[in-house]
Structure formats: C-alpha cells, structure tokens
C-alpha cells in the first residue's frame, strides 16, 4: 500500500495511465481535556499551540494512509491531484479529508 504514489499534480512525468476513480481518506481527531486546557491557557498569551499542530500533522498522515488504502483496494498504482480539506467539529475536534483521483499505469 505505501508504494502507491501520491501526487498533487495532474500528470506524472513519463507515465501514462487510465483513470480508475475518486478516492478519499478521512479522519477526525481530538485532544484530551488536559491538553485542551493547556491550549486555552496558551490562547491567552498567543503563539503556536504545539499540541494542536501535532494533532493536525497526525490527522494529515492518517488521512493520506487511508487515501492510499482506498486506492490500493481499487487496484490503483497512484493518486493524482491529491488535495486536503479540513474543518472543525465542535470546539476540540478537527476533521481532515485527503482526496484525489486513483489511476492505473498503462505503460
């Protein structure tokens, strides 16, 4: 599965492919109550809230892994035009979606 190439571009140089279809990787993450309190205190003085940054990095990684899994299940060799979308659910949850087009190499 980790051999599935993921590209943000439409074309993969030197490769020809056929389109299989859309693929997605979704996750929703939250931090525990102690971390939320710490983040609230940091909000008073300003600056980066490192626990939330770490949570978003983890969410991005999970979303890409799930995108690759979805592509692998369809028999794809790669995903092109990969994009991210994210949003908050409530005050302490973030959702991340990775999506793109699964393709199969024909060359």
Instruction: Quote the CA–CA distance of 79 and 99 in Å, as a whole number.
Output: 9
Contacts of 46 (CB under 8 A, 6+ apart): none
Work out the mean pLDDT of the chain and round it to a whole number: 87
pLDDT in tens, 58-69: 999 999 999 999
In CATH terms, the fold of domain 5-105 is: Translation Initiation Factor IF3 (3.30.110)
Instruction: Tell whether pTM > 0.75.
Output: yes
Residue ranges covered by each domain of the chain: 5-105
Residue 39: what pLDDT?
Answer: 54
Q: Report residue 70's pLDDT band, with 50, 70 and 90 as the boundaries.
A: very high
Instruction: Quote the CA–CA distance of 96 and 63 in Å, as a whole number.
Output: 7
């Amino acid at each position: 599965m980790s051999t599935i190439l993921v590209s943000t571009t439409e074309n993969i140089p030197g490769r020809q492919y056929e389109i299989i279809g859309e693929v997605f990787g979704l996750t929703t993450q939250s931090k525990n109550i102690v971390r939320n309190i710490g983040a609230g205190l940091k909000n008073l003085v300003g600056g980066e809230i490192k626990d939330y940054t770490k949570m978003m990095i983890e969410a991005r990684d999970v979303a890409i892994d799930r995108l690759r899994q979805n592509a692998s299940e369809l028999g794809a060799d790669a995903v092109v035009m990969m994009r991210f979308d994210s949003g908050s659910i409530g005050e302490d949850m973030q959702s991340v979606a990775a999506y793109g087009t699964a393709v199969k190499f024909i060359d």
